[in-house]
A and B are shown apart, each in its own frame.
Chain A
Amino acid sequence: MAGQDITRAGEALRLVQVSKTYGSGDHPVRALDDVSVSLAAGTFTAIMGPSGSGKSTFLQCAAGLDQPTEGRVFIDGAELTGGSETKVTKFRRQRIGFIFQQFNLLPTLTVLQNVTLPLRLAGKKADRKRAIEILGRVGLRERIDHRPAELSGGQQQRVAIARALVTNPSVIFADEPTGALDSRSARNVLALLAEAVHEFGQTVVMVTHDPVAASYADSVIFLADGRLAGSLDRPTAEAVAERMTHLGDQVAPYAAVGE
């Protein structure tokens, strides 16, 4: 127990000069370009930037869902990069939770089965009590025997959050978790992520396009053209929106040339 507290007190995520190039032919796309980031444990960080700036790529490399072309990634001080898919997966399911814009729940499993799946895959006991408790936390205790197709988008995303929380990961990544939701469901989801950080000491890294969603975070990191383009602490929705418009100016210099 004490050991866990010590690692969580330190650095949760570290990217060292990470680059990612897609395709190797005539037109390789450099989606991430020499990005280095360090995030303390127990923080809530939003990643923002124009479409195509590399936010999803950043998140996937950081979470071990994709291998960076260059650079290294550390979670809780342990290196994530460099292993086989099997090795990275085993690492991932101990320390990382991931939430997708499109939920990615398994359609053949019930809500409860979806939530206990990460435990089963890790060869642990499918702790029903813990799963139900977490489903209660996200307000779905009554729906545990439903299938995903029988739930609304907001409810499905809450199941996905419960699934990400069930293994008690130190870092939770979320790629536009509110992108497919109405504003009420979105607030609900954001509050749950904030709760994971402030009540349970977990670290959340969330990609979003929405300045209001970003304002739930402790800080915002901006990306443009695959590179870091500044950050903002204790963001308000207005300040974020303001920064985003300028970010647009920076990455679109051609507009100025054309005038």
Chain B
Amino acid sequence: MTVFDLALRSLRHRTGGFVASFLSMFLGAIVIMSFAAMFDTAGGAGVDAVSEETLITMASVVGGWGLVIVLFAVISTMTLSVRQRAGEMALLKSVGATPFQVGRMIVGETLVVAVAASLLALPLAAGGGWFLLEMLQETGQVADGVGYAFGSAALSIGIGVTLLASVGGAAVAARRAVRMRATEAMTAASIETGRMSRKRVIAAIVFLAAGLNCGILTATLFDGKGIDAMQTAGQASIWFSIGLALLGPVLVRPVTAALAGPLRLVGGAGGYLAVENVRRRTQQMAGALMPIILFTGIATGTLYMQSIENGAPPAAGSSIPPDEAQAIETLNFVVVGMLSVFAAIMVINTLVAATTYRRREFGQQRLVGSTPPQVLGMVGMEGVVLAAAGVLFGSIGSIVTVFPYSLARTGELLPDTTLAIYLGIVSVAATLTLASCLGAARKAIRVPAVQAVAV
């Protein structure tokens, strides 16, 4: 039996484990292809210069951000699913599979999933691109006569990027899994050190610095330049949030420490277990924390930036005419809408996958004497820690956009806008987190405990 057979078999037997990766590739492919279709559309006959420029900006700016997020999403779901299978990898290695074979199996599995995801995404992406063009024409940003095209650019960029991001993500995840020695991997399946790799720390610092840099540029270089400041302000919270998300394992600790006392007091045995779990599983927690931070940070940053803009006086120094400002507003909402939907699905995916994977652990707890409400209580309190940490650091991530932009546009550090948007974002983040954890846990404990432990 070749390694590829093994990959196919494993795909067939654990379809559930690939749902998260599949969904992020699938959605990613739809987003990237829809926007890449704007390149095809711009290249059509009889497209005027203004329409062409709008289309190309749309495709490169939004599509570019889509690419970053998809890459991120795929890497994080793949890392999660590979880590969940550390035991299986260890078993394969202990029966003689070489690290190369194990790595090839993981990459092979991912490739199969990615091809399926991009092909299935095709019809939806074609529709998505058409909808995008409709919207641009309706808001008068692209001439009505421009005909829709979905062609070589959409296909090559869409499928190419999805496959590359997936295989890249799998390779990163696989490298980590196979570098462990067999016996080491066996123990790592049950305990983890909670330390972060140096590369991860460096990457986090680079992202944080980029975000901070954008924030500083916004407040200094673009002060008094009006809406031009969005060029740097918009990116600031994205970079900074990614940096914070990468630091997840470190960030989750102080939040746990702060909440440990109250949780134990209110939560009884469930609270006690929740605190122990979060402490000992910082890596897994960090995986779930990532999309919550990104969602909160990017949505808060971008929506407040637009809200500040809408309330600010027109600036003399702006190079952008007022009618183009409306196009930028559309662009902002499209970006936020896209990223939010993506992040929301990531939150659900990651948490459902991580919680479902704990079926055996829940079974063990029930055998020791946890009642179903106690298991759910524990999961709920872990969700509270996650939501609190995610919202806290997401909010910090948004600051590098909101404060500098407010300073640049109004001269005040604190924006004079409604708090309702923020409260809305926080409630969505908290609800998504808790509902995903609890929903998956409820389903996981429907299986009799003895059977849950046996598999």
Expressed in whole angstroms, the Cα–Cα distance for A85 and B453 within the complex equals 16
Give the residues from 255 to 303 in chain B that come closer than 8 angstroms, CB to CB, to chain A: 268-269, 272-273, 276-277, 280-281
Interface membership of A113, Cβ < 8 A: yes
Give the residues from 23 to 75 in chain B that come closer than 8 angstroms, CB to CB, to chain A: none
Interface membership of A89, Cβ < 8 A: yes
- A90 CB contact (under 8 Å) in B269, B371, B453: B371
Excluding A66-B448, A66-B450, A117-B369, 6 further A-B contacts by CB distance (< 8 Å) are A89-B371, A117-B269, A121-B269, A147-B191, A149-B187, A149-B190
Interface membership of B364, Cβ < 8 A: yes
- B370 touching A65, Cβ below 8 Å: no
Interface membership of B88, Cβ < 8 A: no
- A120 touching B371, Cβ below 8 Å: no
Please give, as numbers and ranges, the residues of chain B lying within 8 Å of A86 by CB-CB distance: 371-373
Interface membership of B367, Cβ < 8 A: yes
Expressed in whole angstroms, the Cα–Cα distance for A149 and B191 within the complex equals 7
A167: min CB distance to chain B, Å: 8
Interface membership of B368, Cβ < 8 A: yes
**Given A65-B449, A121-B374; A104-B190 close (CB under 8 Å):** no
Interface membership of A187, Cβ < 8 A: no
**Given A60-B450, A104-B453; A113-B367 close (CB under 8 Å):** no
- B370 CB contact (under 8 Å) in A60, A66, A108, A121: A121
A170: min CB distance to chain B, Å: 15
- A123 CB contact (under 8 Å) in B269, B364, B368, B449: B269
Q: Which of A11-19, A40-48, A92-100, A245-253 contacts B (4 or more CB under 8 A)?
A: A92-100
**Given A65-B449, A108-B277, A148-B190; A85-B364 close (CB under 8 Å):** no
Please give, as numbers and ranges, the residues of chain B lying within 8 Å of A78 by CB-CB distance: none
Give the residues from 355 to 398 in chain B that come closer than 8 angstroms, CB to CB, to chain A: 361, 364-374
- B268 CB contact (under 8 Å) in A65, A93, A123, A148: A123
- A92 touching B369, Cβ below 8 Å: yes
Interface membership of A163, Cβ < 8 A: yes
A171: min CB distance to chain B, Å: 14
Expressed in whole angstroms, the Cα–Cα distance for A117 and B365 within the complex equals 9
Expressed in whole angstroms, the Cα–Cα distance for A90 and B191 within the complex equals 30
Please give, as numbers and ranges, the residues of chain B lying within 8 Å of A191 by CB-CB distance: none
Mask for A133-161, Cβ within 8 A of B = 1, else 0? Answer: 00000000000000111100000000000
Interface membership of A226, Cβ < 8 A: no
Please give, as numbers and ranges, the residues of chain B lying within 8 Å of A148 by CB-CB distance: 190
Expressed in whole angstroms, the Cα–Cα distance for A122 and B453 within the complex equals 21
- A113 touching B371, Cβ below 8 Å: no
Give chain B's interface residues, CB within 8 Å of chain A.
187, 190-191, 268-269, 272-273, 276-277, 280-281, 361, 364-374, 448-450, 453
B73: min CB distance to chain A, Å: 27
Q: Closest 4 interchain pairs by CB? A: A93-B369, A107-B190, A108-B280, A86-B371
- A89 CB contact (under 8 Å) in B268, B370, B448: B370
Interface membership of A118, Cβ < 8 A: yes
Please give, as numbers and ranges, the residues of chain B lying within 8 Å of A60 by CB-CB distance: 450
Interface membership of A37, Cβ < 8 A: no
| Chain B residue at minimum C-beta to C-beta distance from A175 | B450
Please give, as numbers and ranges, the residues of chain B lying within 8 Å of A100 by CB-CB distance: 367, 453
Interface membership of A106, Cβ < 8 A: yes
**Given A66-B450, A121-B374, A123-B268; A104-B276 close (CB under 8 Å):** no
For this complex, 7 residue pairs linking A to B, each with C-beta atoms less than 8 Å apart, are A93-B369, A106-B368, A108-B276, A108-B281, A117-B273, A121-B368, A121-B371
Please give, as numbers and ranges, the residues of chain A lying within 8 Å of B366 by CB-CB distance: 85, 89
- B276 touching A113, Cβ below 8 Å: yes
Please give, as numbers and ranges, the residues of chain A lying within 8 Å of B448 by CB-CB distance: 65-66
Interface membership of A109, Cβ < 8 A: yes
Expressed in whole angstroms, the Cα–Cα distance for A120 and B369 within the complex equals 10
| Chain A residue at minimum C-beta to C-beta distance from B186 | A149
A92: min CB distance to chain B, Å: 6
- B365 touching A106, Cβ below 8 Å: yes
Please give, as numbers and ranges, the residues of chain A lying within 8 Å of B450 by CB-CB distance: 60, 65-66
User: How many residues belonging to A are interface residues under a CB distance threshold of 8 Å?
Assistant: 30
Expressed in whole angstroms, the Cα–Cα distance for A17 and B448 within the complex equals 22
- B276 touching A120, Cβ below 8 Å: no
| Chain A residue at minimum C-beta to C-beta distance from B187 | A149
Expressed in whole angstroms, the Cα–Cα distance for A65 and B365 within the complex equals 12
- B361 touching A106, Cβ below 8 Å: yes
- B272 touching A120, Cβ below 8 Å: yes
Expressed in whole angstroms, the Cα–Cα distance for A243 and B145 within the complex equals 91
Mask for A65-76, Cβ within 8 A of B = 1, else 0? Answer: 110000000000
Expressed in whole angstroms, the Cα–Cα distance for A89 and B269 within the complex equals 14
Expressed in whole angstroms, the Cα–Cα distance for A147 and B273 within the complex equals 15
Q: Name the residue in A104, A118, A122, A123 with the highest tally of chain B Cβ atoms < 10 Å from its Cβ.
A: A104
B171: min CB distance to chain A, Å: 28
Please give, as numbers and ranges, the residues of chain B lying within 8 Å of A93 by CB-CB distance: 368-369
**Given A65-B449, A108-B281, A113-B276; A89-B191 close (CB under 8 Å):** no
Please give, as numbers and ranges, the residues of chain B lying within 8 Å of A105 by CB-CB distance: 364
Expressed in whole angstroms, the Cα–Cα distance for A66 and B453 within the complex equals 13
Expressed in whole angstroms, the Cα–Cα distance for A93 and B371 within the complex equals 10
Please give, as numbers and ranges, the residues of chain B lying within 8 Å of A113 by CB-CB distance: 276
A156: min CB distance to chain B, Å: 11
- B369 touching A118, Cβ below 8 Å: yes
Expressed in whole angstroms, the Cα–Cα distance for A123 and B377 within the complex equals 14
A149: min CB distance to chain B, Å: 4
Please give, as numbers and ranges, the residues of chain B lying within 8 Å of A85 by CB-CB distance: 366, 371-372
- A89 touching B453, Cβ below 8 Å: no
B194: min CB distance to chain A, Å: 11
Please give, as numbers and ranges, the residues of chain B lying within 8 Å of A65 by CB-CB distance: 367, 448-450
Please give, as numbers and ranges, the residues of chain B lying within 8 Å of A89 by CB-CB distance: 366, 369-372
Please give, as numbers and ranges, the residues of chain A lying within 8 Å of B368 by CB-CB distance: 93, 104, 106, 117-118, 121, 163
Expressed in whole angstroms, the Cα–Cα distance for A11 and B450 within the complex equals 26
Please give, as numbers and ranges, the residues of chain B lying within 8 Å of A107 by CB-CB distance: 190-191, 361
- B369 touching A104, Cβ below 8 Å: no
A129: min CB distance to chain B, Å: 18
Expressed in whole angstroms, the Cα–Cα distance for A194 and B74 within the complex equals 54
Q: Name the residue in A90, A107, A122 with the highest tally of chain B Cβ atoms < 10 Å from its Cβ.
A: A107
Please give, as numbers and ranges, the residues of chain A lying within 8 Å of B273 by CB-CB distance: 117
B441: min CB distance to chain A, Å: 14
| Chain B residue at minimum C-beta to C-beta distance from A107 | B190
**Given A65-B450, A66-B448, A149-B187; A109-B276 close (CB under 8 Å):** yes
